[in-house]
Amino acid sequence: MASDAGNGTPSYSVGQLDAERDYVNSSEQSPRWLLSAHAIALRAAARLSFGLVNRSASAATETIWLDSTLGEWQGKQMISVNIYVPPREREGSNSKKGRPAIINFHGGGFVLGQGTDDAVWADALMTGLDAVVFSVNYRLAPGYPYPTPPEDCVDAITQISSLADKYGVDTNRIILSGFSAGATLALSSWVILQKPETWGYQLPNSLPQIAGIVLFYPLLDWTVDRPTKRKTCTRPDLTLPSSLTDIFDASYMYPSIPRSEKSDPRLSPGLMPDCMLDQLAPIHLCLCEYDMLLAEGQEFTRKIIARGKQANVRVVNGEPHAWDKLSTITPKESVGIEYDAAIEAMKEWVIVEQSSI
């Protein structure tokens, strides 16, 4: 079902693109009310689809609200979090030591989605890792464009870590995970936590140490436009259509950001500087063969390995972006395989962290 990352997919180089004219996204000319109308319609369709995907999954144990303390739109109880707590009586529970905590970020192009979209993943984490799962509802574009979503995610990480005692969580065993846009935000959040002063953020003095990061098909490099990304894919016809990605991108990056300014690692975390790569937490990266984001995932993989960092990288053969979120009558076997592979990697991280206490 999966292969390693080096499967010969065409790659790109940012330097090779310098002479090219920036891609003109027609949706950037749309009024914000129209983008908002598109978002409302897309969200309604997405809720129906994810309801089918998660029809047999556990419901969240509770929902809490966190404060927004960073950026332009600050306020009390602005960020909701769906929490999944495994039963205490589960055989083999390590709750006396403090359970691992997974802080998860959903996908949806920064425009769609909600924390409960990843309920199947939460079930797998509760069963396979005895972990408490915090699935974050960061605020969405176009109402809250970049950089609000990564700021919300950083707020969520710092405030959830302060609730560790309440939920029986070991703060040395906090892992970030995310899908698609949420995977981008998971890595962007880690970047911000390393040097928040770079962007003028004031965070608590005691920041959580992240034990590892699990990324499912992230967008890592905004300096490469969508048409170029599609050209790197062996099946561009199976990638997300431009009619959709144009809406996503115009909604998220407002006002429009020129390509020369898209290397900010809050936006393009795959372009983080080498000094951050050298400090990077262990990574598990799951990519899809027929995804326009495959090439940049593989490029990031090469950078990680070149810096001698710990990385598990898998490519799901014959599948498009977000293959695990597609509504099917029978769940795909590859979904369970890839979720289990990620959990096996996570077990190594939390065991190492626990033994060092």
For Cα atoms 309, 313, 314, give the angle at the middle one, nearest 5 degrees.
Answer: 175
Three-state SS string over 234-276 comes to: CCHHHCCCHHHHHHHHHHHCCCCCCHHHCCCCCCCHHHCCHHH
Query: Which pLDDT tens digit goes with each residue over 102-113?
Result: 999 999 999 999
Residue 13 has pLDDT above 90, yes or no: no
Say what angle helices 32-53 and 242-252 make with each other, to 10 degrees.
120
Task: Report the pLDDT value the prediction gives residue 206, as an integer from 0 to 100.
Answer: 85
Query: Which pLDDT tens digit goes with each residue over 93-148?
Result: 444 568 999 999 999 999 999 999 999 999 999 999 999 999 999 999 999 999 99
Q: Which residues, including other chains, have CB under 8 Å from residue 178's CB and lie 6 or more apart?
A: 104, 105, 106, 107, 184, 185, 186, 187, 214, 215, 216, 218
How high does pLDDT run on average in the chain?
90
pLDDT tier for residue 18 given thresholds of 50, 70 and 90? very low
> Looking at 123-137, 254-268, 325-339, which range is the least confident one?
325-339
Residue 24 has pLDDT above 90, yes or no: no
Query: Which pLDDT tens digit goes with each residue over 208-229?
Result: 999 999 999 999 999 999 999 9
> Looking at 82-96, 142-156, 157-171, which range is the least confident one?
82-96
Q: Which residues, including other chains, have CB under 8 Å from residue 111's CB and lie 6 or more apart?
A: 39, 42, 43, 140, 141, 142, 247, 248, 251, 252
Query: Which pLDDT tens digit goes with each residue over 270-299?
Result: 999 999 999 999 999 999 999 999 999 999
List of domains in the chain: 2-355 (3.40.50.1820)
Task: Report the pLDDT value the prediction gives residue 21, as an integer from 0 to 100.
Answer: 61
Task: Report the pLDDT value the prediction gives residue 270, as an integer from 0 to 100.
Answer: 97
Task: Report the pLDDT value the prediction gives residue 96, as an integer from 0 to 100.
Answer: 53
Query: Which pLDDT tens digit goes with each residue over 40-59?
Result: 999 999 998 888 888 888 89
Is the separation of the CB atoms in 125 and 344 below 8 Å?
A: no
pLDDT tier for residue 344 given thresholds of 50, 70 and 90? very high
Q: Which residues, including other chains, have CB under 8 Å from residue 115's CB and lie 6 or more apart?
A: 60, 80, 81, 82, 104, 106, 135, 136, 137
* Alpha carbon distance 276, 213 (integer Å): 14
Residue 356 has pLDDT above 80, yes or no: no
